Structure formats: structure tokens, C-alpha cells
Amino acid sequence: MTPDVRPLVAGNWKMNGLRASLDQLKAIGEGVKGPLSDKVESLICPPATLLYVATAVVTESPLAIGAQDCHTAISGAHTGDISAEMIADCFGTYVIVGHSERRTDHAESDALVRAKAEAALAADVAAIICIGETGDERKAGQTLDVLERQLRDSVPDGATAARVVIAYEPVWAIGTGLTPSAADVEEAHAFLRAELIARFSSEGKSIRILYGGSVKPGNAADLMAIANVDGALIGGASLKAEDFLAIYRSYETLLA
């Protein structure tokens, strides 16, 4: 954890979720009500088909709703894409950009990720910018080099703690059940913190750095207790209210 930084527990539903899944969303929305919500922010990013109705379902909850991607343009001939303005129009407050699955499946470059983040900020939507090394890059000892490049080239100038979140997701750990050691996570997050401070001065001290990659109820408390880990970006475990809330509530002990 980072002192005086409000953690964020975020769920990325990816290409999962139909209208029937709104029952899980309602349960999450109810489950994050209470005193802990003043100390810990919660967020679910459902598929775009559920974005608008999701915001309506949790109107009375502190749970935030976001999107999983956006286009760089405000509007135009971009079939199948959604803009940050459309996300804001649906009352979404966050958007994930640069997830490894977008970088891999759609060949998204750091420059494109940066442009998407800039589009989000222009629409007053906070950007969760994902970075992380592949298994091959890790084996080659290139983890910190990859993180330095992706952080430098994917994060817009003028980033602030209020509008930008960094998510460190080792690509080899996403959905595999594997997680880095606590020492590896601490090293990566400490490196990212130092890079953020070097670039953004005092603002870099407060930009949240999430950890993502097979986060589940059984390991969440240990991961969230690591220095400079300011929350989690959760994949599969966010699809079930029980699992998401167990991760969220790990902060009841950590912040006691």
C-alpha cells in the first residue's frame, strides 16, 4: 500500500456478461456499501453492451462503472468502436486502455494506448493504463526495461492521480493461476513508483499502481499489503460477487 492513497479494487469482466449477470453486479453494488467505501474505491468494467444499464443498476451504490476500451476519436466512421464521450454519456467514469489482450490480439502499440488515454482524459473519463511483461521478456531479464518503456510511452504528459491509474499486469500471470513472488511484485511496483515520481514529481507519489494477474480471495490480502500496491485489477474473480467482495474486504484488516 501507499500511505495516504485510497486503494482501488477494479473488476474487468472482459467478454463476459449477459443481462442475467446484472444480478452479480447488483450484489457487488450492495456489498460495497458501508464504511469501507470511504477508504477503498470499487469499480466494475462490464462489456459495452451492459455499460449503460450497469450504471442504472448501481445508482444507489458507491460502486463505479467503467468500460474496457475506447477509440482515440470523438466520433466517426469506426464501426464497432466506442468513444470516450460515449462512455461518459453512459455515466461511465473509467476506461481500461492498453490491456495486454488488446496489445496482443489487436496489435496495439504504446503510442495508440497513449492516444486512447488522452482521449479518455479529454472526455473527463479516468484512464486505467495497463502495462506488463510477457513470459519470454521476464525470462530474458527484461521486465524493468519493458515497464520503463511502456510507462514512458503509454502514459500522457500531465497525468494526475485523480485521472490516471497504472495497472501492472505480468502478461504471463493473467488467467493462468500463476503470480509473481511478493519480492517480484514489490520490485516492479517500487520501480514504477520511482519512474512516476521522476516524471510527475509530487503527483507521481499519489498515482495509484494496481496489481493484476490471477488475483483471487486467497492471495489478495498478501498482494494488497505490498508496498506501492494500491489495489487490484481483477479478471475472472470479478465475475462472482462473492469473490470480488472477498478481495475488496481484504482491506478491512489491512486498513484497520
* Domain extents in the chain: 8-177+209-231+244-254
The CA distance from 143 to 124, in Å, is 32
Helix (H) / strand (E) containing 168: strand 164-168
Helix (H) / strand (E) containing 110: helix 110-122
The CA distance from 49 to 67, in Å, is 10
Residue 62 is predicted with a pLDDT of 98
The CA distance from 243 to 92, in Å, is 23
* pTM of the predicted model as reported, rounded to 2 decimal places: 0.96
Do 126 and 160 meet the contact criterion of CB atoms below 8 Å apart?
Answer: no
Using DSSP's 3-state secondary structure scheme, residue 104 falls into helix
8-state DSSP, 43? E
8-state DSSP, 129? E
The ranges of the chain with pLDDT < 50 are none
Residue 229 is predicted with a pLDDT of 98
The CA distance from 214 to 216, in Å, is 6
Return the active site residues. Answer: 99, 169
Distances (CA, A) of 246 to 13, 42, 224, 229: 17, 12, 13, 17
Topology of the domain covering 8-177+209-231+244-254: TIM Barrel (3.20.20)
